[in-house]
Structure 1
Amino acid sequence: MFPKCEPHQPTMLSIICPLRDEEDSVQPFFARLLPVLKDLELDFEIICVNDGSQDKTLERLQAARELESRIRILDLSRNFGKEAALTCGLDHTRGQAVIPIDADLQDPPELIVDMVHMWQQGCEVVLAQRTDRSSDNWLKRKTAEWFYRLHNAISRPTIIPNVGDFRLMDRKVVEALKMLPERGRFMKGIFSWVGFRQAILPYARDVRKTGKSKFSTWRLWNFAMDGITSFSTVPLRIWTYLGLAIALASFAYGSFIVGRTLIFGRDFPGYASLITVILFFGGVQLIGLGVVGEYIGRIHTETKARPIYVVRERFEDVT
C-alpha cells in the first residue's frame, strides 16, 4: 500500500514505446494497446521512438498513425540504444502520467488500467514487478538475480528486483528525470535515484510474442557493468583494500625470509615459482587498471557533452 495523499486529476496519459527492428510487433502491439487506452476514457498520446530500425518498423508506425492521430513518431538519426530512446520519449511527453512499455507484449497493456487507478488515488510511481519470469531461460533468471543482489549490496539507492522500465510516473517524476544530464544512462538506477512515493503492482510476465530480443549475452554484461559503475565507487575502493592487503602480506613474507636467514644462516634455495608470482600480480594490476579505466571512460564521455540522441524527423500533429 502507498501513503495517503491527494488524488490526481488526470488530463492526459503518455505512453512511451522505444522500437528497434520491430516490424512484426507494431500491428499486434497497437491492436492490444489502443482498446485499453480508449476504455480508460482519458486523453492519451503514444510516443513511438524509432531507434535506428533497419527493417520496416517506421513504415508500420506511419501506417498505424494514419488510423490513430494520437500516435506520435520520433525517428532517431541512428541507433542510440534503448536507454537513449527512452530518454527521448520522456523528453517529449506532455501527459500528467507517463508509462514506458515495450512493443513485444511481454508486459501486458491491460495492466495500465490498474496503474492509472493507483495513480489517480495519489501514487506518484507505480512499479510493475515481475512475479513469474518463467518466460526467461534459467541462466537469464539467475544472472538477473545475481545482478540485483550485487548492485543493491554496493550501490545507493537500491533497485527493487524484477522491476523493469514498465511503470507509471507522475509528471513531477518525469520533470525530475529531465534534470539529470548524464550521457551514460542506466535508467533503472536513474528511476530509483529520483525517488518519490512508490507502489508495487505484481504481474506475471508473458513470453515474447514476435521478433527476438536485441540484448545478447555480451550486451547484457555491458549493461550490468553500466549499472554498477553508474551508481557505485565500490569497485574502485576494492582495489585500494586489495593493494593494502597484498602490501601487508608481502611485508610479512619478506620479514619471515629475513628472520629465517638470520636465524638459520641460509636463504631459501631457488624460486621456481617466481615467474608465476610475477605474472599473477601483473594480472591483478591490469584488472585494477581496467576498473579505473571504466570510470575514466565515463568521465571522458561526460566531458564531451554530446547530446544523448538526435531526432531525424518527427511525425506528429503541430500544436
Structure 2
Amino acid sequence: MAKQLDILVPFLNERESAIGFCALASGLATQARQRFGLETRFVLIDDGSTDDGGRLYEEHLQGTWTLVTLSRNFGKEAAILAGLDHSEADYVLMMDADLQHTAEVALDMIGRILADPELDMVYAVRADRAETQTLGRYLANGFYWLINMGQRYEIPANAGDFRIMSRRFAGAMRQLRDQRRFNKGLYAWTGFRQQRILYKPAERQGGTSKWSKRRLIAFSLEGFTSFSVVPLRMVSLFGGAVAVLGFLYGIKILLEVLFTGVAVPGYPSLIVAVLVLGGLNLALTGLVGEYVWSALSEAKNRPNYIVKSVSQSQKAAGVRQQASRKSNG
C-alpha cells in the first residue's frame, strides 16, 4: 500500500494567490506520486479569512483535499495545529499559500526524509535573510541568541513553517496544546532527528504579508514567555548591579563627608537615581506581567481553535468511507 502524504496549507485572505497555488499543488501531487509513490492529500486551514479564497480553493483544487474553516482568526500557530489534528498520514508537509514555498524545495525535502528512516523532520531555512545585514537582521540574531541561551536545545534562526515531518513527529506535536503557541520553539523542544536545508523563497504572487512589525514584536514576546526565563534573569542581574553601584556610591559620599567635608550632592543625583530605579521597576513589572498573562492563558485551558466547518473533495470523502468500512469490518 502506498504511503500517505498530507500537505498542510494554512491561509488567511489569500484570494489573489489561490488559483496559482492550486496549479502548483496539482503539479506537486503528481511529482510526489511519480517520483516517490506517495498518495497526496491537501489539508487547507482557513484561518478566519474575510475574502472568498476558500471558495476558490474548493472550485480549482484538484485531487484529494480537506478544507477546515475556523470560526475566526486564531493565528497561524493555531491553524497549523488544526491541520495536524486533521491529519493521519505517514508524512506531513507544511507550506504557505502565497506561492513563496516552491514545489522544487518541497520535493527536495520529501526525498530527504524518505531516504533516511531515522530522520523525523526536514526544515527549510531562508538563505536570503542570512545574506542581508540590516537592523532587523541584527535584532533577529539577538532574539535567537537570547532565547537559546542556557537551553538544552537550539531554536534555529531563519527557519519558518516550511518543513516536512514524520508521523511520530506530527503525533508529538499534537500532544503539545500550549495556548500561546510558538511553533519554532515547539519544533526544537520536541527533539527527534532533524535536518535543515537552505532555500530562497519565490516572489509573492499577490496580496501582502500578514506579519507587521507590531505582530512580530508580539510574537517574539510570546516566544520569550513560552521558552525562556533569560529576560527576567537579565533584569534581575541589572537590578542587582544597580543596587551594588548605589551602595558603593553611598559609601563614597559618606567617606567624603567624614574626611573631606565635601557637601552631599543634591537634587541632580537624586533625580537620576529615582529615574533609573523607577524605570527599572516599571520594566520589570511589565515583564513579569507578560509571564503572568502567559501562565493565566495556560490555566484557562481554552481550546486552541474552534472549527466552523469541514468540507472535502469527493475523492477524500470516498477514501474516508472506505477506511471507516475497513475499521468496522
Pair in the same fold by TM > 0.5: yes
Aligned length: 309
Instruction: Classify 1:28/1:142 alpha carbon distance in 2 versus 1 (closer, same or farther; 3 Å).
Output: farther
Q: Is the 8 A contact 1:135 1:205 kept in 2?
A: no
Deviates further, 98-107 or 34-43: 34-43
Q: Is the 8 A contact 1:135 1:207 kept in 2?
A: no
1:123-174 CA distance string (max 9 Å, x none): 2111112223499895554443343333333544212222211111000001
**1:1-319 superposed matches below 5 A:** 11-41=3-33, 42-65=38-61, 67-68=62-63, 70-121=64-115, 122=117, 123-133=119-129, 138=134, 140-153=136-149, 155-316=151-312, 317=317, 318-319=320-321
How far apart are 1:73 and its partner, in Å?
0.3
The residue identity in structure 1 corresponding to 2:190 is: V
Deviates further, 155-164 or 220-229: 155-164
Runs of 4+ in structure 1 displaced over 6 angstroms? 134-137
- Whole-angstrom CA distance in 2 between matches of 1:81 and 1:137: 29
Q: List runs of 5+ in structure 2 lacking aligned partners.
A: 322-329
Q: Is the 8 A contact 1:47 1:72 kept in 2?
A: yes
- Whole-angstrom CA distance in 2 between matches of 1:81 and 1:298: 16
Q: Is the 8 A contact 1:125 1:197 kept in 2?
A: yes
Identical amino acids, percent of aligned pairs? 37
Question: Structure 2 length as normaliser, TM-score?
Answer: 0.87
1:88-141 CA distance string (max 9 Å, x none): 111111210001100111111222222222121222111112223499895554
Query: What's the RMSD between the two structures over aligned residues?
Result: 2.1
1:183-229 CA distance string (max 9 Å, x none): 11000110111111122222222221211100001111111121222
- Whole-angstrom CA distance in 1 between matches of 2:250 and 2:198: 58
Name the SS for the 2:304 alignment partner.
Answer: coil
Instruction: Classify 1:169/1:286 alpha carbon distance in 2 versus 1 (closer, same or farther; 3 Å).
Output: same
The residue identity in structure 2 corresponding to 1:270 is: G
How far apart are 1:284 and its partner, in Å?
1.0
How far apart are 1:63 and its partner, in Å?
1.3
Instruction: Classify 1:305/1:235 alpha carbon distance in 2 versus 1 (closer, same or farther; 3 Å).
Output: same
How far apart are 1:264 and its partner, in Å?
2.7
The residue identity in structure 2 corresponding to 1:75 is: T
1:262-307 CA distance string (max 9 Å, x none): 2234532533342232122111110011111110010110000000
Q: Is the 8 A contact 1:10 1:96 kept in 2?
A: no
Deviates further, 93-102 or 231-240: 231-240
Deviates further, 146-155 or 248-257: 146-155
Question: Structure 1 length as normaliser, TM-score?
Answer: 0.90
Deviates further, 78-87 or 200-209: 200-209
How far apart are 1:230 and its partner, in Å?
1.4
